[in-house]
Amino acid sequence: MTADELQSLIAQGLPCDHIEVSGDGRHWSAVIVSPAFEGKRLIQRHQQVYATLGQRIQTDEVHALSMKTYTPAEWAAQR
């Protein structure tokens, strides 16, 4: 799995205004900005992202994913 492949998987399953993925092939970090996160708690946001990866998490194709999830408004405030 490459960073581009992981980024594409997330973007296919979740509308993203911005996404950055980096990692070493097993351990990943992501910054994800999505309007789908509006009104969601942190755990719900992470569950949404994990859902886009499906079996890849369970089969250990993606061993670890650390993520920062933002709504577009939160992202704008960060910048």
Q: Is the predicted pLDDT of residue 57 greater than 90, yes or no?
A: no
Q: Whole-angstrom Cα distance, residue 63 to residue 47?
A: 15
Domain 3-78, CATH 3.40.1080.10 — does that match? no
What Å distances lie between residue 24 and 32, 38, 65, 68, 75, CA to CA? 18, 30, 11, 18, 25
How do residues 2-44 score in pLDDT, each as one tens digit? Answer: 999 999 999 999 999 999 999 998 889 999 999 999 999 999 9
The residues, ordered by sequence, that sit 6+ positions from 40 with a Cβ below 8 Å of its Cβ are: 48
Alpha-carbon 67 to chain mean position: 6
How do the domains of the chain map onto residue ranges? 3-78
pTM (two decimals): 0.92
Helix (H) or strand (E) holding 60: none
Q: Is the predicted pLDDT of residue 63 greater than 90, yes or no?
A: no
Between residues 4 and 56, which one has the greater pLDDT?
4
Between residues 19 and 63, which one has the greater pLDDT?
19
